[in-house]
Amino acid sequence: MSSKKMANQKASHEISQVKSTSISAQNARFIQRLRLGSIDTFTAMRELNICRPGARICDLRNAGYRIDTARIVLTDEWGRTHRGVALYTLMSEPRSAA
């Protein structure tokens, strides 16, 4: 009998979704995350594997999503302070998405 544990299939599926770099996959991840609350540029890049969050926000706005952008000061994991980091908040969705 092997002592290896079976992988959590749900977790594996979620990880594979984050690995997809197609624009449609990035937009889907971004809007799903925005539905949970505000997210900043650094978090979108790090947790959602989105290289250019601003471009994806532009895509979503063009698709009818109303997304507010606030500029915040953020300290990164190395202790460096960044001014003007975008914080995105979903305000409303297009009727077809609701």
pLDDT of the chain along its 98 residues, tens only? 445 444 444 443 444 477 888 999 999 999 999 999 999 999 999 999 999 999 999 999 999 999 999 999 999 989 999 999 999 999 999 988 65
Structure tokens at 6: 């079976």
For the chain, state the CA radius of gyration.
16
What pLDDT score was predicted for residue 7?
42
Amino acid of residue 1: M
Structural domains for the chain:
21-92 (1.10.10)
Classify residue 98 by its DSSP letter: -
What pLDDT score was predicted for residue 98?
55
Distance CA 97, CA 64 (A): 9
What pLDDT score was predicted for residue 96?
80
Is residue 10 within 8 A of residue 36, CB to CB? The reply is no
Sheet holding 66-75, edge to edge: 39-40, 81-92, 66-75
